[in-house]
Amino acid sequence: MMHLWTHGNQATRNNLRNLRSFGWPLHLTITEFALRRSGPLSQRFPQFKLNFSKVSGLPATAYANRVGSVLLPSSEFHTAGVFRWLPLEHKAFLTPVQRCIATASSPSSSASAEPIVAKPLTGNTSPADRPDHDAVGPSKFRLLEIDVEDMEKQRRKFIKRNNFYGKVLLSFLLAGGGLMYLAYAAADVGSGLMRHMDGLLELLYDLLPDNFPDPELAHHFVMWLASRGYLPYDLERDDPELSVNIKGLTFHTPVGLAAGFDKDAEAPLGFCKMGFGFVEVGTVTPKPQAGNPKPRIFRLAKDWAIINRCGFNSAGLDVVEPRLKKVSEDRWHDRLARRCVIGVNIGKNKNTEKAEEDIREGIRRIGRFADYLVINLSSPNTQGLRALQQRDHLRSIITAAQSELDKLEQEHKMHQAKTSQPDDTEQEKAKLQQDMTQKALDFFPTQTGRRPLLFVKIAPDLTVQEKQDIADVALETGLDGLVVTNTTIQRPESLQSRSKKETGGLSGRPLKAMATQCVSDMYKMTKGQVAIISSGGIETGLDAYERIRAGASAVEVYSSMIYRGPVVARRIKDELLSVLNQAGKP
């Protein structure tokens, strides 16, 4: 088999006729001629005489008359009889190449190709100038007709190869477009993709074992994403009707993230940008402590609940203080986090005998970076902590905390007093006011520019008398607010998950009714004079509405963040607004 590559133009066909006139018994059919509109190439090239070596045992001498391209043997494929196409000069004129196929029946040979000699013809040629003739006549060889079947196979192979590369390119384009859409959709909690996140998570928790993957490991991964800004943002503008004001502190939305999720202030602004109106950092202890042994967090997926016995694991004030300082500086430059309220939950170390000392130190070092402070006296995982909710202990702790806040305010006033006394002109007065405002933001870099509000977090497992004692102390000391409630040590009979008997505090859906009742009780006992932030079992906007109707000013979520995913804040806000529009604001 010999593959002859030739240029498809009139000069080539003339050349083939010339070859036949010199004694070549050729039977060739040239397919798919591509005629150039620029004119025949025969006008651009002179006459040439080309001597070919033996190919596959066939002596051959070709005379090319006014040819635009010639055929040369390929040394790489010599034994297979494959010719390669080569232009005489100016490749730009020789782009369309067509294939002719001829079949030779003479014995094959592996003789090596001799150098090609090309020289111009000077005139008429004689038989002596024709090496393909001897005394007897032309050499005995014949070329059969074109192998049409092989040509069709080659054509199909070419099409198949092009189709393969086309499919690969199309696949890459579709995959790239899909990834770009997913990246865009996953970056916005209000996108159509993220709207189905809670359903996907619910299906995932149904298919996987309760504690696979490890809850604490999964939590660390989420915190890693949040600290690098990889969690989705809530780009929708919140309705002004959701805004809440608690003693001068404005919450642009009443849905926040409860303490325990971001214990060490790793990414509070990341959660603010997810749509939460406020984020409560902590619990933070003065000294670092590891907490209780692992495993200490358990999912109860069938019950939409969590059991934890972490025990105030904290990085300590030395780590949290610079982080909060950076947060207070960065949030003013972020449009999505600028209005977010930052709360800080503080507690005592496990081995501290006097809780007042740890509370004082916490307020002294990080109090001025918080919009509100929460004293945690209700965790069930620190021995003896809940006893501090009793009347006398509670009064002592609140008094110590308020005393430390007073010191911060005195220090703040000293900074303001250093401003020089101005003249009695309007311009100087305006300058003084601007300067004092800036100093207030420098010392208290918070939403209000003044001392933080003070809250106490209480347990749900309180008797009526214990609740009344807390209410009395709150009114007596002028406490700003209560966080109601922490986790419970009770185990309802309705629990179905295998981990239901684990020790620790239970949060989530089983806590809903108990927390709502506790909010109602504390609101009535404090006569509505103490602000209440409700936590425990908040999953939907209707849950938030029920807590607000019971007496809460704002709500916090924790377990539903795990089971509904990053869309939970936006979902609750939308549902709450819908309920408010239907039922009217309370």
Residues 232-291 pLDDT 10s: 888 888 888 899 999 999 999 999 999 999 999 999 998 998 889 999 998 999 999 998
* Average pLDDT over every residue of 91-99: 38
Domain count, the chain: 2
Q: How much is the pLDDT for 323?
A: 94
**394 band by pLDDT with thresholds 50, 70 and 90:** very high
Q: How much is the pLDDT for 307?
A: 92
Contacts of 129 (CB under 8 A, 6+ apart): none
The answer on 95 and 215 residing in a single domain is: no
Q: How much is the pLDDT for 105?
A: 34
Q: How much is the pLDDT for 197?
A: 67
C-alpha triplet 67, 17, 120: angle, nearest 5°: 35
Beta pairing partners, 48: 64
Residue 98 has pLDDT above 50, yes or no: no
Higher pLDDT: 506 or 121? It is 506
The answer on 103 and 192 residing in a single domain is: no
Q: Is residue 499 annotated as a catalytic residue, yes or no?
A: no
The answer on 361 and 251 residing in a single domain is: yes
Phi/psi of residue 508, nearest 5 degrees:
110, -155
Residue 455 has pLDDT above 70, yes or no: yes
Indicate the residue among 116, 146, 176 that finishes a domain: 146
Distance between CA atoms of residues 257 and 343, nearest Å: 10
Q: Which contacts (CB < 8 Å, 24+ apart) does range 199-205 have?
A: 200/565, 201/563, 201/564, 201/565, 202/563, 205/299, 205/301, 205/563
* Segment 401-412, tens digit of pLDDT: 999 999 988 887
Active-site annotation holder among 379, 535, 553, 560: 379
The answer on 545 and 475 residing in a single domain is: yes
Distance between CA atoms of residues 398 and 197, nearest Å: 42
**195 band by pLDDT with thresholds 50, 70 and 90:** low
Distance between CA atoms of residues 230 and 213, nearest Å: 20
Q: Is residue 161 part of a domain?
A: no
* Average pLDDT over every residue of 170-187: 59
Q: Is residue 423 part of a domain?
A: no
Q: How much is the pLDDT for 61?
A: 36
Parallel, antiparallel or unpaired: strands 97-104 and 143-144: antiparallel
Reading phi first (left if > 0) and then psi (alpha if -120 to 50, else beta), residue 572 is in alpha
Q: Is residue 404 part of a domain?
A: no
Coil, helix or strand at residue 482: strand
E strands in 212-277? 244-246, 249-251, 255-257
* Average pLDDT over every residue of 439-459: 82
Higher pLDDT: 190 or 315? It is 315
Parallel, antiparallel or unpaired: strands 297-300 and 305-308: antiparallel
Q: Is residue 179 part of a domain?
A: no
Range of the domain at 101: 2-146
Phi/psi of residue 507, nearest 5 degrees:
-130, 170
Instruction: Count, in order, helices (H) and strands (E) of the chain.
Output: 15, 21
- Out of 263-272, 328-337, 392-401, which region has the weakest mean confidence (pLDDT)? 328-337
Indicate the residue among 146, 169, 201 that finishes a domain: 146
Q: Is residue 417 part of a domain?
A: no
Higher pLDDT: 517 or 582? It is 517
Indicate the residue among 97, 115, 146 that finishes a domain: 146
Q: How much is the pLDDT for 136?
A: 43
The answer on 332 and 233 residing in a single domain is: yes
Residue 566 has pLDDT above 90, yes or no: no
Q: Is residue 415 part of a domain?
A: no
**581 band by pLDDT with thresholds 50, 70 and 90:** confident
Average pLDDT, the chain: 73
Q: How much is the pLDDT for 23?
A: 42
The answer on 332 and 214 residing in a single domain is: yes
